[in-house]
Amino acid sequence: CHPVTGTCSCPPGRTGHHCQRACDLGRWGPDCAHTCNCSNSDGSCSAESGQCLCEAGYAGARCE
């Protein structure tokens, strides 16, 4: 956290004033600032890297 403002810059996969919460489904990156870009039915991805998490029967970078 910033020593003067106290604002935290959360690591990938975390959000909240003290980085206490995991990203919501469909979000990823530092402070959960990015939206997953996946084509599978629930559009989920790794909260840390943004890599799509493909359901059975789907493959590829966007699970197409």
Domain assignment present for residue 61? The answer is no
| Domain with 12 in it | 1-54
CATH number of the domain where residue 34 is located: 2.170.300.10
What is the Cα 7 distance to its own chain's centre? Answer: 20
CA dist 27 and 16 (Å) reads: 13
Domain assignment present for residue 39? The answer is yes
Model pLDDT, residue 57: 87
**Residue 20: phi, psi to the nearest 5?**
-85, -15
Model pLDDT, residue 2: 79
Taking the chain (64 residues) in runs of 10, the rounded mean pLDDT of each run is: 82 91 94 91 87 90 90
Model pLDDT, residue 41: 64
- Whether the CB-CB separation of 54 and 19 falls below 8 Å is answered with no
Question: pTM to 2 decimals?
Answer: 0.79
CA dist 37 and 47 (Å) reads: 12
